[in-house]
Structure 1
Amino acid sequence: MNVAIYCGSSFGNNKIYEESTKILAQKLAQKNFNIVYGGSLQGLMGVISNESLKHNNTVTGVITHDLVSKEIENKSITNIHKVHTMNQRKEKMAEFADAFIAIPGGYGTLEEIFDVIASAQLGYHKKPCAFLNINGYYTHLIEFLRNSVKEGFINKLYVDMLIVSDDIDEIIERISNYNAPKDKWEK
């Protein structure tokens, strides 16, 4: 199984983010879940890739030529795919992945995970989408999504389909046993 990891190119302000990312890499390697990620050596992206490699896991990166020119490419990973645009990067990562996990990050992380969540809602794929809620990082976001259900903008089914936990083992277990809901327009 290939798991796309969406995460920050920064470390965040608390060591728990880096520590939990290392544990995630270790546990995914133990389950033979390969990593697909954005190809960078910066921040948590570098942590997930380098820690995965330490545990003999396969790491596939997808990075834009522009970011390569900024010298942030992790040249140590197993496979690297270079593309022209961020949209191509997202498409390639989604193509390679069998599941998606967002760990703490900024706008890019949120944009990437919401892109695959929206695609799942529409039935373009049946792959699990998860949030590793390290240090409560995604708690307010999940509350926002539940409020969107309450206000009638998201069907509860598509918030319930999300795997949200601060427990890495639970996330891995739920990804392994995931059953996708019907798509939004399916009758």
Structure 2
Amino acid sequence: MIKRMAVFCGARKGNQEKYIKQADALGKYMADHDIELVYGGGQFGLMGALADAVLDNGGEVHGVITESLAERGVANPRVKDMRTVAGMNLRKEKMMEKADGMLALPGGVGTLEEISQCTSWMTIGENPKPVAFYNLDGFYDHLRELFVEMNKDGFLEQRFLDAICFSENFDEILSFMNNYKTPEYRKYRN
């Protein structure tokens, strides 16, 4: 059962109102379903909107921010449980450790890098937790197509492709996460 969800998303708002609206909607959804937010600790962009929406609706938020970002004033002052770590690799590790599942909202290269690591680690057995992409208006369609191409060309096994969720429905994402079965791993031989 998902009690804490790590959400990776843009530190910018994007250029369309729909992104902020969906961050707000997810924050309310998480609070209404008693799912605590684990996120990168920022006060700006979708990150800030999401954290504020969770807090505004009575939910709990856990921030993990790097020392350099905290020193630059990025940390959300409303988040009481804020952990400061040395660097980005440790931040991702701590977020994955704290959460029961990982979700990517729309974002930039940082968001892509973070959720890609969660996905990559799932394929090698280092992340036994579910990974999902909130695919607002097809935002992640090209990435899904790339994963399908990786599978078709023999670089991504079907069992791992099947273990990744792309959806723009919060209920569907939560159902996927709550019913997630970690892919089986087998020993490799030359």
TM-score, length basis structure 1: 0.96
Give the drift of 1:184. Answer: 5.8
Give the equivalent residue in structure 2 for 1:45. 47
Give the equivalent residue in structure 1 for 2:7. 5
- The amino acid that maps onto 1:84 is A
Of residues 78, 81, 86, the one that matches 1:79 is 81
What root-mean-square deviation, in Å, do the aligned CA atoms of Structure 1 and Structure 2 show? Answer: 1.4
Instruction: State the alpha-carbon separation in 2 of the partners of residues 147 and 84 from structure 1.
Output: 36
Instruction: State the alpha-carbon separation in 2 of the partners of residues 179 and 69 from structure 1.
Output: 40
TM superposition outliers: structure 1 runs of 4+ over 3 Å: 184-187
Instruction: State the alpha-carbon separation in 2 of the partners of residues 176 and 98 from structure 1.
Output: 9
Of residues 4, 15, 37, the one that matches 1:35 is 37
- Select between 19-28 and 117-126 the one with higher mean Cα deviation: 117-126
Q: Describe how 1:55-94 pairs up with structure 2 within 5 A.
A: 55-94=57-96
Give the equivalent residue in structure 1 for 2:152. 150
Of residues 165, 180, 187, the one that matches 1:163 is 165
Instruction: State the alpha-carbon separation in 2 of the partners of residues 157 and 36 from structure 1.
Output: 27
Contact 1:120 1:183 in 2 (8 A): no
Instruction: State the alpha-carbon separation in 2 of the partners of residues 134 and 105 from structure 1.
Output: 11
Contact 1:90 1:112 in 2 (8 A): yes
Give the equivalent residue in structure 2 for 1:18. 20
Secondary structure at the residue paired with 2:119?
helix
Instruction: State the alpha-carbon separation in 1 of the partners of residues 157 and 119 from structure 2.
Output: 13
Q: Gaps (5+ residues) in structure 1?
A: none
CA deviation vs aligned residue, 1:97-154 (integer Å, no higher than 9, x gap): 1100000011111111111111111112321100000121101110011011111111
Give the drift of 1:183. Answer: 2.7
CA deviation vs aligned residue, 1:7-48 (integer Å, no higher than 9, x gap): 000111111111111111111111111000000001000011
Tell me: CA distance 1:123–1:19, structure 2 relative to 1, closer, same or farther (3 Å). same
Instruction: State the alpha-carbon separation in 1 of the partners of residues 185 and 17 from structure 2.
Output: 39
Secondary structure at the residue paired with 2:132?
strand
Contact 1:37 1:45 in 2 (8 A): yes
- The amino acid that maps onto 2:6 is A
